[in-house]
Structure 1
Amino acid sequence: MRKLCHCGQEMSLDFRVLIFEGIIEIDRVPVFECEQCSHYEVLPAIKPDLLALLGELKASREQGLVLFNEVSELADVMYGIYRTWSETDSPSFESLLDQKCKERINLLLDVYGCAKGMEDQVWMEDISKRLAQISDFVNNSQFSRTN
């Protein structure tokens, strides 16, 4: 999983801690990182989720640590693959990501059915939000556009 940096070198996927307003650490944020010039960019596919989180954090004035993969369904799937995948393994990270995203969508749909059966509106709304995060990515193939 790579992208070209503005310096001409390849950037690779990594996960970083971002510090928001000097008081909140947001860990496990997927970024493209260049080893040559140390430039990094948040993955375009997760940027909307990150911006939404930053807005919530600013409004709440909380302090501490947030694990981004607990907020973004796509980041969670990516982080799960990243922890165990190596470049020598097959299939490629991208095809594994596609497969795992589809599996997560199916799981979330099953959980939504359970929440609906229990008539738990709050749970249904949370699952709907998570489904939207990951299905938008799969439907729009956002990740493949960043290569």
Structure 2
Amino acid sequence: MSFCCGASMIGVVGTWNHQYVKVHHVPLLCCPVCQNVIVHPAVKEEFDLVVEYAQEDQVKEITLRESVTPEMIDEWKEICVSFQDDDSERVIREQIDHSLDLLSIAKQLEDQSWEEDLKNRLRVLSLRLRKLEENKESSK
């Protein structure tokens, strides 16, 4: 599990632009608060190799689909606290629940800095959830 801004990052499979090469079907970890995104450590070496080969062959767009099996994705889903699929609202609610759990621990430990980080994270997540709910209502 990876952490950023005091709590967990969300797993997602998406497209990543790296060194002028667009790579599709890349397992990523992203922070819903600060928008930090990294390539999942389990495929980082494979990702770097594929990008290097693409650059040598002057290919601008490639995919990791052949390297990433459904079994690997299922394994990553188990490692991540949340794994984003088509239900963004569910993922944000999970992140809010985890942040609230961590906030109670931070309060018990009397860790003011961690408490503030978690409160900031909760503010951002709540705002995102509110926007999702508003968009959902307006699209009805």
Q: Scaled by the length of structure 2, what TM-score is found?
A: 0.47
Structure with larger Rg: 2
Q: Scaled by the length of structure 1, what TM-score is found?
A: 0.45
